[in-house]
Copies of this chain bind each other. A is one copy, B any other.
Amino acid sequence: MNKVFLFYRRPVGKPALGDFKLSIEEIPSPDDGEILLKTLFVSVDPYLRGRMNDSESYVPPFELDKPMQSGIISKVIDSNHSGFKIGDFVSGNLEWKEYQVSTGKGLQLINTDEIYLSAYLGILGMTGLSAYLGLTEIGVPKAGETLVVSGAAGAVGSVAGQIGKIMGCRVVGITGSDQKIDLLKSKFHFDEAINYKTTVDLIRAIKTACPNGVDIYFDNVGGKISDAVLNNINKHARIPLCGAISLYNATSQVLGPYIQPILVSKSALIQGFIVSDFSEKFPEAKKQLFSWLKESRHLP
């Protein structure tokens, strides 16, 4: 039998289990020109929360009673398609089904000799590309500068911080547990990490962790954490804005201090982005990430 995860109800605030439904269906058979896929890895990303709302964003909303979708790694277990053979591994935007058929459209074949499979949903996938391209195209880090990353232990944040280290920056992460702080410092080699949940004066904590001020702020969260970082930015700071997860579950408009006066006085730049804004740069970015990944196996 085939497990299928349906989107059942648009969440109000934080998504709950009851907003989804598990459906047991027949395993489909591939027609001519189709392949049968078995799901191995599913990417669960913050941007999916936006797709659960019935409002236009950079991706269309999910439809009710249809399967959830996201980046998935699958194995080809049956094939009537000349481009794919049984045993191949593919990545693509697929449905949350244990088994599904596909025409192969939009799927990439994965060379499993080179690297572990899940990397193609992580560092070599959308999250790694978001970190690399947001940081290099908008943040433009220079050796010796200070980079602050919010959502630092997340899939994008942890990679952004590690790339900052490779590029010679002092890197400070903001995260929500002491366990994640340990992870950032010991495994991902961040210089400092701040637990925003247990820190009373976040502005001061950032100032202490960034004695030369903040040159680049890779922002995944928005809200109060970002307000505190903005209080510490240097002249000509750059802020790649990858997400605003702290605000996505809000059920009413969240207010904060206007940021325009700081942006003016610091000649600072904020740029929102989605990874596809930089699709022309994907090949070179993947090549760079792949080479870093091969060099230092400690990356996740």
Contact = CB atoms under 8 A, between A and B. Distances in A.
Contact of A255 (B236, B258, B268, B277): B258
A263 B271 contact: yes
A266 interface: yes
Interface residues of A, number: 38
Given A263-B241, A264-B272, A269-B270, A254 B247 contact: no
A244 B260 contact: yes
A260 B253 CA distance: 12
A240 B243 CA distance: 21
A57 interface: yes
A248 to B, nearest CB: 7
Residue from the set A57, A219, A272 with the largest chain B CB neighbour count within 10 Å: A272
B257 A253 contact: yes
A259 B259 contact: yes
Contacts of A50: 265
B222 A260 contact: yes
Contacts of A253: 257
A273 B247 CA distance: 27
Given A255-B255, A256-B256, A247 B271 contact: no
